[in-house]
């Protein structure tokens, strides 16, 4: 087999009339008398290859028509324009080499249950909807980096292992670190706060870990987050940065992933109007609105999933809910000088019940108040010496937020459960594959 002329299926159109070789996996084999069609997927696209019995000889014909799904093959042939074929062209086969056979493939076009699919996630990734999801994910991640790069943010890689609890003690994965207690990062925030004092505008992007014992469609135990942190930004600036980022990311997905979103049957007309300003409602007004709709929640309670859904249905745009009661939020949020029962923070709720995609706040920059909050929450004080230092050596107003990649993707792709938005989901009871 000549490999010099190996091409990717995505580029086939530009090779029309030429003889090329593709390498990939067999999707289907159909025989119509003396002609057979072997559909091959190479990871960049899918192409129909056409075999004519009398041109190939008996041995090759028999091998090709007997190919099992997912066999690895190299196919050589001439590229022909064929408007009826997917991708607009097909390959008239001159040779086909079986590189590796396949056993009976467990995934069939019939409907499988979600547990079966997740058990076979390593194979499920080969299906067209999953390709589409992974491509949208890659585009969204790239868009995030481009957004911050264009604004002169410096990317900071923050540690996964830490002695400090980033968010709350309730959902920690703990591990032994040479005799010391260490935790898997729930957030990179505390570290980007330190970096903001060095570089002003920074962000981290990475996996974060929460031992969420609840089974919901919005929770993973390992999820990815982008967390910008900006020196001299207040809570208002912070919300503006969030709506700009979300608008940019959604716009990029719509602009560059049209094909993928069509495969996922996502109606993009719901995404096209997304642009600033997003509606803003204070927590206190949100409680009044929810109580008016029959909720019995009390001022001070955190919003539940249903409450968020109701609020998100008040607009076609994402909705900011700001200034929550401090007992509902993490220790590092700045006390609201106009109402000390609340903190200067916000959540951003995606439309249509996709839930909270961003959590952000202005940070407590007063040493005494921050120390009091660490004590109040009974956090291991000795682990926060360095974090408190940031308030001892030139403290400064600063704000930041975390945008959850999988939840944002759930909204963009129209999938209701976050488990499909990450290549290998980690959830309660799921560590394999």
Chain contacts with ligand 4AD (rule: CB under 6 A): 167, 187, 189, 210, 212, 219-220, 223, 225, 227, 356-361, 400-402, 404, 406-407, 418
Instruction: For residue 184, give the nearest of 204, 202, 164 by alpha carbon.
Output: 164
Residue 318 binds what, of Mg ion, ligand 4AD, none (CB under 5 to 8 Å, by partner type)?
Answer: none
How far is 215 from 162, CA to CA, in rounded Å? 26
Pull the structure tokens for residue 103: 């056993």
User: Residue 121 CB, nearest distance to Mg ion (Å)?
Assistant: 27
Tell me the sheet residues that pair with 100.
Answer: 72
Pull the structure tokens for residue 151: 């604004």
Q: Which is nearer to ligand 4AD, 76 or 210 (CB)?
A: 210
The contacts of residue 175 (CB under 8 Å, 6+ apart) are 161, 182, 183, 184
User: Residue 378 CB, nearest distance to Mg ion (Å)?
Assistant: 20
User: Residue 266 CB, nearest distance to ligand 4AD (Å)?
Assistant: 19
The contacts of residue 178 (CB under 8 Å, 6+ apart) are none
User: Residue 202 CB, nearest distance to ligand 4AD (Å)?
Assistant: 11
Pull the structure tokens for residue 409: 């993707």
Residues 273, 276, 279: CA angle, nearest 5 degrees: 95
Q: Which is nearer to Mg ion, 132 or 319 (CB)?
A: 319
Cβ(27)–Cβ(87) below 8 Å: no
Q: The tokens 């006390």 sit on which residue?
A: 335
CA 364, 368, 369, 374: dihedral to nearest 10 degrees?
90
Residue 189 binds what, of ligand 4AD, Mg ion, none (CB under 5 to 8 Å, by partner type)?
Answer: ligand 4AD
Q: Which is nearer to ligand 4AD, 42 or 307 (CB)?
A: 307
- Interface pattern 247-276 for Mg ion (x via CB under 5 A): ------------------------------
Count the Cβ atoms, other than its own, within 10 Å of residue 171: 16
Q: Which is nearer to ligand 4AD, 37 or 173 (CB)?
A: 173
The residue sitting closest to Mg ion, measured at its beta carbon, is 359
Residue 335 binds what, of Mg ion, ligand 4AD, none (CB under 5 to 8 Å, by partner type)?
Answer: none
User: Residue 93 CB, nearest distance to ligand 4AD (Å)?
Assistant: 46
The contacts of residue 97 (CB under 8 Å, 6+ apart) are 1, 73, 74, 75
Angle between helices 405-413 and 235-256 (to 10 degrees): 50
Q: Which is nearer to ligand 4AD, 12 or 303 (CB)?
A: 303
User: Residue 404 CB, nearest distance to ligand 4AD (Å)?
Assistant: 2
Q: Which is nearer to Mg ion, 228 or 359 (CB)?
A: 359
How far is 36 from 63, CA to CA, in rounded Å? 12
User: Residue 345 CB, nearest distance to Mg ion (Å)?
Assistant: 9
Residue 203 binds what, of Mg ion, ligand 4AD, none (CB under 5 to 8 Å, by partner type)?
Answer: none
Residue 219 binds what, of Mg ion, ligand 4AD, none (CB under 5 to 8 Å, by partner type)?
Answer: ligand 4AD
Q: Which is nearer to ligand 4AD, 48 or 361 (CB)?
A: 361
Q: Which is nearer to ligand 4AD, 62 or 216 (CB)?
A: 216
Residue 425 binds what, of ligand 4AD, Mg ion, none (CB under 5 to 8 Å, by partner type)?
Answer: none
H or E stretch including 137? helix 128-150
Pull the structure tokens for residue 341: 């029962």
Q: Which is nearer to Mg ion, 130 or 187 (CB)?
A: 187
- Burial call 132-152: b when 16+ CB within 10 Å, e when fewer: bbbbbbebbbebbeebbeeee
- What residues numbered 308-367 form the site for Mg ion, per CB under 5 A? 359
How far is 120 from 135, CA to CA, in rounded Å? 20
How far is 197 from 430, CA to CA, in rounded Å? 39
User: Residue 357 CB, nearest distance to ligand 4AD (Å)?
Assistant: 5
User: Residue 175 CB, nearest distance to Mg ion (Å)?
Assistant: 24
H or E stretch including 121? helix 121-124
User: Residue 162 CB, nearest distance to Mg ion (Å)?
Assistant: 19
Q: Which is nearer to ligand 4AD, 42 or 243 (CB)?
A: 243
Cβ(14)–Cβ(27) below 8 Å: no
Residue 331 binds what, of Mg ion, ligand 4AD, none (CB under 5 to 8 Å, by partner type)?
Answer: none
Give contact residues for Mg ion (rule: CB under 5 A): 359
């Amino acid at each position: 087999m000549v490999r010099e002329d190996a091409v990717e299926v995505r580029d086939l159109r530009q090779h029309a009339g030429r003889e090329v070789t593709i390498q990939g996996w067999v999707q289907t084999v159909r025989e119509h008398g003396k002609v057979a069609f072997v559909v091959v997927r190479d990871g960049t696209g899918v192409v129909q290859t056409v075999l004519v019995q009398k041109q190939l000889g008996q041995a090759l014909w028999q091998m090709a028509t007997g190919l099992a799904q997912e066999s690895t093959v190299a196919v050589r042939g001439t590229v022909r324009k064929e408007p009826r074929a997917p991708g607009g062209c097909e390959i008239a086969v001159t040779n086909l080499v079986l590189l590796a056979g396949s056993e009976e493939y467990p995934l069939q076009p019939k409907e499988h249950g979600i547990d079966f699919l997740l058990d076979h996630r390593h194979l499920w990734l080969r299906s067209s909807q999953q390709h589409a999801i992974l491509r949208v994910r890659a585009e969204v991640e790239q868009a995030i980096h481009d957004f911050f790069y264009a604004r002169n943010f410096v990317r900071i890689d923050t540690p996964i292992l830490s002695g400090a609890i980033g968010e709350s003690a309730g959902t920690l994965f703990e591990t032994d670190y040479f005799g010391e207690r260490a935790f898997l990062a729930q957030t990179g925030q505390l570290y980007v706060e330190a970096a903001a004092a060095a570089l002003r505008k920074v962000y981290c992007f990475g996996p974060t870990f929460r031992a969420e014992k609840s089974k919901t469609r919005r929770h993973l135990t390992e999820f990815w987050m982008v967390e910008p942190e900006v020196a001299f930004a207040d809570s208002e600036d912070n919300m503006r940065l969030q709506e700009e980022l979300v608008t940019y990311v959604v716009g990029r997905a719509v602009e560059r992933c049209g094909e993928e979103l069509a495969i996922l049957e996502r109606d993009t007309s719901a995404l096209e109007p997304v642009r600033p300003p997003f509606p803003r409602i204070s927590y206190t007004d949100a409680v009044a609105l929810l109580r008016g709709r029959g909720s019995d929640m009390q001022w001070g309670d955190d919003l539940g999933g249903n409450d968020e859904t109701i609020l998100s249905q008040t607009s076609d745009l994402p909705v900011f809910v700001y200034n929550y009661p401090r007992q509902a939020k993490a220790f590092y949020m700045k006390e609201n000088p106009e109402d000390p029962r609340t903190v200067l923070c916000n959540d951003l709720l995606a439309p249509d019940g996709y839930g909270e995609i961003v959590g952000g706040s202005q940070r407590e920059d007063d040493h005494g108040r921050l120390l009091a909050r660490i004590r109040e929450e009974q956090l291991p004080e000795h682990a926060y010496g360095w974090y408190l230092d940031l308030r001892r050596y030139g403290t400064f107003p600063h704000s930041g937020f975390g945008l959850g990649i999988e939840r944002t993707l759930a909204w963009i792709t129209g999938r209701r459960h976050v488990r499909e938005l990450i290549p290998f989901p980690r959830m309660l009871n799921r560590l394999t594959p």
